[in-house]
Copies of this chain bind each other. A is one copy, B any other.
Amino acid sequence: MSDYHRKNRRRGFQKERDLVRKLWDMGFATIRAPASGAKAKKTYQPDIIAAKNNRILVIEVKTRSSSDVVYIDQYQVEKVLEWVKRAGSNATGMIAVYFDRRQGWRFVPIESAVKLDSGGVKITKEDADKGLPLDKLREI
């Protein structure tokens, strides 16, 4: 891994920790999975689970500063969908995307994201604009 990627990765983890803190401060119960990157796991772990009033958000986090699109690969989509299916009808799969400070965090329901032939999905910065900002999650 290059220094450039290592730095981006570290920055991504920092943003993810900040997000968990913000969700906690909004009254969600939160838990964050260890940052591993290993795909050989025997169980699927999404990045963050946030629960409140019997609703469960199953969250995959994507941060990007150098481009205007994020890709969520098939494995990541599957782990969210499988988690949601198991957890029950009160669970919702969300991609939390962060492009820049102006737009802030946006939450895009995984089923509204643009499907790719690869089995993954993509979210452009423009798509993200239609996602829920953090403070709208209060209404969930």
Q: A residues near B, CB below 8 A?
A: 20-21, 24, 27-34, 42-43, 45-46, 49, 51-56, 58, 82-91
Count identical subunits in the complex.
2
Could you say which residues of chain B place their CB within 8 Å of the CB of A56?
Answer: 51, 56, 87
- Name the residue among A45, A55, A86 with the largest chain B CB count within 10 angstroms: A86
What chain B residues lie within 8 Å of A82 (beta carbons)? 29
Extra A-B contacts (18), CB below 8 Å, given A21-B42, A32-B34 = A24-B43, A27-B86, A29-B83, A29-B85, A30-B43, A31-B46, A33-B33, A34-B34, A49-B49, A49-B51, A51-B88, A52-B87, A53-B88, A54-B54, A54-B88, A54-B91, A55-B88, A56-B56
Q: Is the CB of B54 within 8 A of A32?
A: no
A53 to B, closest residue via Cβ: B88
Which residues on the B side are within 8 Å of A85 (C-beta)? 29
Known: A43-B21, A51-B91, A91-B51. A86 touches B28 (CB 8 A): yes
